[in-house]
Amino acid sequence: MSMPRKPILRASSVRACVRSSFQAVPYRKSGTGASWVGIARFCHETPLTTTARGRTVTTQRPHRRWAMAHRTFKVLDSDIHIIEPPDLWQRYIDPAFKDRAPIGLTEDAGDLRLAHDGKPWGRLAVNADRSVRRQGRNYALNQERWRPFAERGWTAKVQLEAMDIEGIDVAVVYPSRGLFALTVNDMDRHLAAAMAHAYNDWLYEFCQENPERLIGAGMISPFAVEDAVAETRRCVRQLGFRGLFLRPNEVNGRNWHDPYYEPLWAELEELEVPLGFHEGSGAQLRHVGEQFGANTLLKHVYSHPVEQMLAVGSFCAGGILERHPRLRVAFLEGNCSWVPFLLWRMDEHWEWIGDVYARDLTMAPSEYFKRQCFVSVECDEEPVKHVIDAIGDDRIVFSTDFPHGDSKFPRAVESFLQLPISDESKRKILWDNCAAYYGLPA
């Protein structure tokens, strides 16, 4: 059932304000805070004075309200990101591991590099094209787009204000730097476990600003299954997290359907907590796209969807979901348009040689996906209409990817609502499906 809300601003005023967010209006200081037309007028504790096109406007920031005019729908962001402080692990890790923990090189949302003793951590080729990327037309635009948030330190208050601007009711929080924290080959299991523990402690504090709207997805280490099981229990029982996450990349030569990981799948199923897979485009682990080196365009095109496709194969055709029928799994920020093709191809091969290589399966791989898996849609991913035609609209969740460079903030929800799908499908994708995945009220 739709949940109508009365907009607090006229739709025409909001649209004009949002449009102005993407125009090259000079950034400047004003009074006690940073001022920037569009985004900034929503983002400060005091009234703002902004000037553009010869007009001066003073406006009061809405307080914990939704400023967009799409309030016919509730919105649950399955995958919003935070920008962790560069010294997170220095401050939160067990002191025994402090001298081995990485540190962020900058506070820039577009620069998520980690390093230890001056050496790159987690990603090897990411530095090579940095000066080239800075020449791109979108680099400066993104710097301006995020500046009002960055100047106040990417705090939880800032996160909530960004959600208000976009019109997000509830968001599940995933990392930015943390996506590269546990991506070092043959990483010491104890250090990896300590880093996951530290990140989760920090994330818990972050979400306490408003735990009804900020929901944590805990980090677990893939380097020792017993450590992953222990941290899963702690995240759920002590920290109250609604989900856990891993990267989809192969770790230490093991696919996810390797029997080694069975205790983790069993624990997740027992605790009734879902697992999200989230790629990060680059790692010191084996990963799709590494053959493209520092070419971010090609690497990013392939890494996110293809790594997710590989993980889907392990879960649906590798037998994991046959053995764990109550386990819920999501494949996030890798698009969804590939799903019909992959499910068709897995089913075709199951019919062909499944009696040899998938003897434990009791139904086609696509049926496991439809029963237990979720996949996120990009806000402007028009081919989603074909995904709905192929598998229905019950397994697709919405994601803004705020505040990463390819995010459509502050028009992600607005863009999604323009897709050529029914209002019923929009309602399911914006709230119902994600609520079912994370175990939240419909």
pLDDT in tens, 394-403: 999 999 999 9
Q: Which of 50, 39, 49 is nearest to 148 (CA)?
A: 39
Instruction: Please state the domain count of the chain.
Output: 2
For residue 261, count CB atoms less than 10 angstroms from its CB and return exposed for 0-12, middle for 13-18, buried for 19 or more.
buried
CA dist 244 and 256 (Å) reads 15
Q: Which helix (H) or strand (E) holds 342?
A: helix 339-357
- What is the rounded average pLDDT of the residues 221-241? 98
| Model pTM score | 0.85
Residues contacting residue 104 through CB under 8 Å, at least 6 positions apart:
84, 85, 86, 87, 88, 112, 113, 114, 177
- At residue 131, the pLDDT reads 63
Specify which of 30-44, 106-120, 365-379, 402-416 reaches the highest per-range mean pLDDT. Answer: 365-379
151 shares its domain with 257: yes
- 49 has pLDDT over 60: no
Q: Please determine, for residue 311, whether its predicted confidence score (pLDDT) is greater than 80.
A: yes
Q: Is 87 left (phi over 0), alpha (psi -120 to 50) or beta?
A: alpha
CATH number of the domain encompassing residue 420: 3.20.20.140
Residues 370, 329 share a domain: yes
Bridge partners, 243 (sequence order): 217
Within a domain: 406? yes
More confident residue, 120 or 65: 120
In a domain, 204, yes or no: yes
Instruction: State the virtual CA torsion across 148, 154, 159, 164 in degrees, nearest 10.
Output: -10
**In-domain check, residue 127:** yes
Residue 225 reports pLDDT greater than 70: yes
pLDDT category of residue 72 using cuts at 50, 70 and 90:
confident
Three-state secondary structure string covering 56-84: EEEECCCCCCCCCCCCCCCCEEEEEECCC
Task: Tell me: pLDDT of 41 over 50.
Answer: no
Considering the domain architecture, whether residues 338 and 424 belong to the same structural domain is answered as yes
* Lowest-confidence segment of 42-56, 83-97, 106-120 by average pLDDT: 42-56
Taking only the tens place, the pLDDT of each residue in 409-420 is 999 999 999 999
For tokens 């805990």, what's the residue?
218
Backbone angles phi, psi at 93, to 5 degrees: -75, 155
270 and 396 inside one domain: yes
At 45, phi and psi to the nearest 5? -75, -20
Distance of CA 425 to the CA centre of its chain: 21
Same structural domain, 216 and 93: yes
| Token pair 């400023």: residue | 67
**pLDDT value at residue 127:** 52
Q: Are 81 and 166 in contact (CB under 8 A)?
A: no
Domain assignment present for 82: yes
Q: Which of 272, 202, 203, 260 is nearest to 232 (CA)?
A: 272
Give the residue, 31 or 391, on which the prediction is more confident.
391
**49 pairs with which residues across the strands?**
58
**Alpha-carbon distances, residue 262 vs 130, 268, 293, 319 (angstroms):** 40, 10, 34, 11
Q: 184 with 217, same domain?
A: yes
**What is the pLDDT averaged over residues 133-144?**
77
Same domain, 27 and 119: no
Do 329 and 368 share a domain, yes or no? yes
CB atoms within 10 A of CB 3: 11
The percent of residues above 70 in pLDDT, for the chain, comes to 81
Cα separation, 367 vs 46, in Å, equals: 53
365 domain-assigned: yes
Res 70: pLDDT: 60
Instruction: Give residue 330's domain range.
Output: 76-438
Q: How many CB atoms sit inside 10 A of residue 186's CB?
A: 10
Specify if 295 maps to a domain: yes
Residues 32 and 161 grouped into a single domain: no
Whether residue 4 is contained in a domain is answered as no
| Burial status of residue 359 (CB atoms within 10 A of its CB: 0-12, 13-18, 19 or more) | exposed
Same domain? For 219 and 288 the reply is yes
DSSP state letter for 381: -
Better-predicted residue by pLDDT, 405 or 164 = 164
For 296, the 3-state DSSP assignment is helix
Q: How do strand 76-81 and strand 373-377 relate by DSSP bridges?
A: unpaired
SS3 at position 442? coil
What is the per-residue pLDDT for 5? 41
Confidence at residue 433, expressed as pLDDT on a 0 to 100 scale:
99
Least confident of 119-128, 224-233, 312-321: 119-128
Q: Are residues 22 and 103 in the same domain?
A: no
Q: Which amino acid is at 210?
A: N
Same domain, 365 and 258: yes
255 in any annotated domain = yes
